[in-house]
Amino acid sequence: MKSIADKPLYKWILIISGIVFVFLLWWILAISLDTTLFPGPWETFEYLFQMMGEADIWIALGSTLLRLLICFVVCFILALIVGTIAGLFKPFYTFLSPLITILRTLPTAAVIYALIVLTQVEFAIDIICFLLIFPILYEAVANGIQNIDPQIWASLRLDGKVYRPRSIFCVLLPLSKDYISLGIIQSLGLGMKVLIMAEILCGSSKVRGLGRLIYYGALYSNMKEVFAVAIVAIIVIGVFDIILHYIKKPIKARIA
């Protein structure tokens, strides 16, 4: 029998109560500070609705999402190739593990500044997005293949078809879809966060994204714009997190 805390309605009540608490805390802080540098929720949402009637916010949102999509597609194709090889050949997986570990632990801000110095701003953003997304997708593909039922591996080896393209695309990768699906959602949500941060740190007029609006809003002390664009980013990232939350449970149950 489910406890009250496990019931969906009760969870939604707690979630909504938590959101109300955040806005109440925000409102109290805005009143206490009493400065234009920390606008309250009413002023922020009023400015946000005003921005939604203009083209800039939609162009910026579309630009950020398009950049994320392009980077994701490139990373996914490479991760599918390299991850499949690593899943099939354990020594290759072990060989790449130090590099993947380094990529996953890189200090993002420091790397962005280094890339800005070494390359063009647009390339710096794309590269940092790649460095973040690729390891997640690579690990998802490699681990998915390595964790396939040993009986299936034995059948493929018995028939001598382990390394054939038909076996890889029709057996191994489809059986790894749960791991790959988790990797996709995780990489998109995290990629969106890092992409916006990279756009802010680059601070270039050549980059037409949400980060650029936040950067120029802060530069000219227009904190209403900073907060409003941040809310748009939170909503988009929240959508990825909600999708991840709802698909993660059944996938993890199947993996277990």
Task: Give Cα separations from 159 to 42, 57, 90, 124, 168 (angstroms).
Answer: 67, 57, 20, 47, 14
- Beta-strand ranges (E) seen in the chain are none
143: tokens are 């681990």
Residues comprising the chain, all counted = 256
pLDDT exceeds 50 at position 24: yes
Q: How do residues 120-144 score in pLDDT, each as one tens digit?
A: 777 888 888 898 899 999 999 999 9
178: tokens are 């749960």
Q: What is the DSSP letter of 120?
A: -
Task: Give Cα separations from 142 to 54, 88, 134, 249 (angstroms).
Answer: 44, 8, 12, 21
User: b/e for 5-29, b at 16 or more Cβ within 10 A?
Assistant: eeeeeeeeeeeeeeeeeeeeebeee
Q: How do residues 188-233 score in pLDDT, each as one tens digit?
A: 888 888 888 888 888 777 778 888 899 888 888 889 999 999 999 8
Q: Is 0.75 topped by the overall pTM?
A: yes
- Taking alpha carbons only, the member of 115, 128, 113 closest to residue 193 is 128
Q: How do residues 66-108 score in pLDDT, each as one tens digit?
A: 999 999 999 999 999 999 999 989 999 999 999 999 888 888 7
Q: How do residues 146-184 score in pLDDT, each as one tens digit?
A: 988 888 877 777 766 677 788 888 888 888 888 888 888
3-class DSSP state of 239: helix
**Contact yes or no for 27/41 (Cβ under 8 A):** yes
| Pairwise pLDDT comparison (54 vs 3), residue with the higher score | 54
